[in-house]
Amino acid sequence: MLVSAVLIVREFTTNKHAFDVCYYPCLDSTRGRPYGLYVHGNEGTEGAERAVDSITTGLGWVKAADYVVASGKPSKSDLEACWELGATVAAQLMD
């Protein structure tokens, strides 16, 4: 599951070495695996979501469920949605 995608994307785009070391070895070994995304933002998460879509498409990962997007202080329903997301990804990894 991807958390704090903005930080991950920022690291990969500013550090080509880290990208080369992580991305290319993962291409074949993780292709077809499910993933989930929780993203928290105060003003908008569209850019982070697009970036994750681009990266995971390149990796060949499969979106396991709708993204969980929260803004402001996470509510009880946000926390429950994260739990469900994690359970969904875990169940799909077991297949």
Q: Are 1 and 84 in contact (CB under 8 A)?
A: no
Contacts of 11 (CB under 8 A, 6+ apart): 18
The chain-wide mean pLDDT, for the chain, equals: 82
Highest mean pLDDT among 21-25, 54-58, 81-85: 81-85
- DSSP annotation string for 20-43: HHHHHHHHHHSTT-EE-EEEE-SS
Host domain of residue 64: 2-94
Residue 2 has pLDDT above 70, yes or no: no
If one counts the domains in the chain, the total is: 1
Q: Which of 2-6, 32-36, 37-41, 61-65 has the lowest mean pLDDT?
A: 2-6
Rounded Cα distance between 68 and 36, Å, is 8
pLDDT tens per residue across span 27-46: 788 889 999 999 888 878 88
Residue 81 has pLDDT above 80, yes or no: yes
